[in-house]
Structure 1
Amino acid sequence: MIGVESHLAYFFFAFASIFIIVNPVEATIVFISLTPEASTEERARISLRAASVAFFIALLFALTGDLVLRFFGTTIDALRVAGGILLFIMAIDMLKARPRRKVTEEEIADAGDREDISVFPLATPLLTGPGAITTVIVLMGTAAAPAEKLAVFLAITATFAATYLILRSSEYVGQILGLTGIMVLTRIMGLLLGAIAVNFVAVGAWNIYAGMAGIS
């Protein structure tokens, strides 16, 4: 029973970590600005494609993250520290309710000339950017048991299923929350992301020190 509870706890930790860094609620602002003349059906189609592509990108890095780290000769703890610093910087921007520069003005302007914006810039870098990729690699790398790895897969699936529903309902989300409500939620998520980032850095730094000092 304790094992089941620990796996559930890891799932909720993984889901919270991925959902907060993807932040589909804040993404609705960019989504609406990129689809001003789209019909409800078109927005539903774009939302599904964007969430699906973002899901497969996240899943790809979750599956191949260990190979990527070994190719570059680094460790999961080094990525924990570097990723934690990156996430903390993002958390500070969120706490200030300052839009994160996931998508530049030039990319948004370029997207205006595209017929299909679901892959770029929506799926990447808006939904699955460096922060999300780092997070899924770290979560998979630190999963100690197959059940925990399964929990990460389920967390990724749940995150992008929720992302699809939120983007598809972007008009309603915008009307209900308004810009102020979205920014308040962004600040709350920023606080939680900051805590996750500190945990990443602390655990990673301790493991690196313990390995160098020969502490078991």
Structure 2
Amino acid sequence: MNDLAFLTYTFISIFVIVNPISGVVTFISLTSHMTFEDKNILAKKAVFLACIIALFFAVTGNLMLDLFGINVDSLRIAGGILLFRVALDMMFAKVSGESITENEISESQDRSDIWIFPISLPLLTGPGTITTVIVLMGSTASVGQKFLVILSILLTFFVCMVIFLSSRRIYTHIGYTGMLVFTRIMGLFLAALAADFVTTGIWNVYRALSAGA
């Protein structure tokens, strides 16, 4: 896989699981009482923190796996199963329990730190996003590819920033129905990514066991 193809693959993988368009509905509901300026300040803080969290796990993920004695392929299989569950929720246009529950959205209405919870974590950087960036970094074959994963994270959250800053305009133009359609399409891509994670992980584990036999 050349660098451009790898960058495209990693960017799409991260963007699909972060799914900022789907997050717009929750973001608007949580910031509906705010002024335009306050909403934009909150969006910038939330996306920046989410990006830092994703970068942190991308850089330290392999160290954590080594610390707990977990193979990246084991995480790939477990992560694939988790992502498939999220993908099903997206395809049926449900709020995914992996990221945020309806009760958490309701309880967050009057909080002053909603940019931390639930927007940054877990809406943008939930377990699915964290698993994805760790697996992608663990799959790299060179320092150059690791840089491309980092670049994909930065690009994803740059797009998130643009989308959140334009959230009310986006909602006005495409509406709730348009967001549901987009979410279902992203869910289909995420299901394909989840299947790839699981099959690749099982195949790698099988080859490792065969080689050690």
Structure 1 length normalisation: TM-score? 0.95
Partner of 2:211: 214
Partner of 1:118: 115
Task: Report the 3-state secondary structure (helix = DSSP H, G, I; strand = E; otherwise coil) of the residue aligned with 1:214.
Answer: helix
Matches within 5 A, 1:36-51: 36-51=32-47
Shift of 1:165: 0.8
Shift of 1:92: 1.2
* 1:166 and 2:130 correspond: no
Q: Write out per-residue CA displacement over residues 51-75 of structure 1, whole angstroms, 9 at most, x where no aligned residue.
A: 0000000000000101111111110
Where does structure 1 lack aligned partners over 5 or more consecutive residues?
none
Task: Report the 3-state secondary structure (helix = DSSP H, G, I; strand = E; otherwise coil) of the residue aligned with 2:51.
Answer: helix
Q: Whole-Å Cα distance in 2 between the matches of residues 143 and 194 of structure 1?
A: 22
Shift of 1:40: 1.1
Shift of 1:94: 1.2
Q: Whole-Å Cα distance in 1 between the matches of residues 103 and 64 of structure 2?
A: 30
Where does structure 2 lack aligned partners over 5 or more consecutive residues?
none
Percent identity over paired residues: 46
Within the candidate set 4, 29, 32, 1:33 is matched to 29
Q: Which amino acid aligns with 1:186?
A: T
* 1:18 and 2:14 correspond: yes
- The answer (yes or no) to whether the contact 1:8–1:151 under 8 Å persists in 2 is no
Q: Whole-Å Cα distance in 1 between the matches of residues 10 and 36 of structure 2?
A: 32
Q: Write out per-residue CA displacement over residues 56-101 of structure 1, whole angstroms, 9 at most, x where no aligned residue.
A: 0000000010111111111000000000111111111111122212
* 1:55 and 2:51 correspond: yes
| Matched length | 211
Task: Report the 3-state secondary structure (helix = DSSP H, G, I; strand = E; otherwise coil) of the residue aligned with 1:136.
Answer: helix
Task: Report the 3-state secondary structure (helix = DSSP H, G, I; strand = E; otherwise coil) of the residue aligned with 2:2.
Answer: helix
Partner of 2:147: 150
* 1:99 and 2:100 correspond: no
Task: Report the 3-state secondary structure (helix = DSSP H, G, I; strand = E; otherwise coil) of the residue aligned with 1:179.
Answer: helix
Within the candidate set 58, 67, 82, 1:71 is matched to 67
Q: Which amino acid aligns with 1:173?
A: I
Q: Which amino acid aligns with 1:127?
A: L
Shift of 1:167: 0.7
For the aligned residues, what is the CA RMSD? Answer: 1.2
Partner of 1:90: 86
Q: Whole-Å Cα distance in 2 between the matches of residues 89 and 115 of structure 1?
A: 31
Shift of 1:110: 3.0
- The answer (yes or no) to whether the contact 2:95–2:102 under 8 Å persists in 1 is no
Inter-CA distance 98–104: structure 2 relative to 1 (3 Å threshold): closer
Q: Whole-Å Cα distance in 2 between the matches of residues 180 and 106 of structure 1?
A: 23
Shift of 1:107: 2.1
Shift of 1:153: 0.4
Q: Write out per-residue CA displacement over residues 24-60 of structure 1, whole angstroms, 9 at most, x where no aligned residue.
A: 0010000010011111111110110000000000000
Q: Which amino acid aligns with 2:166?
A: S
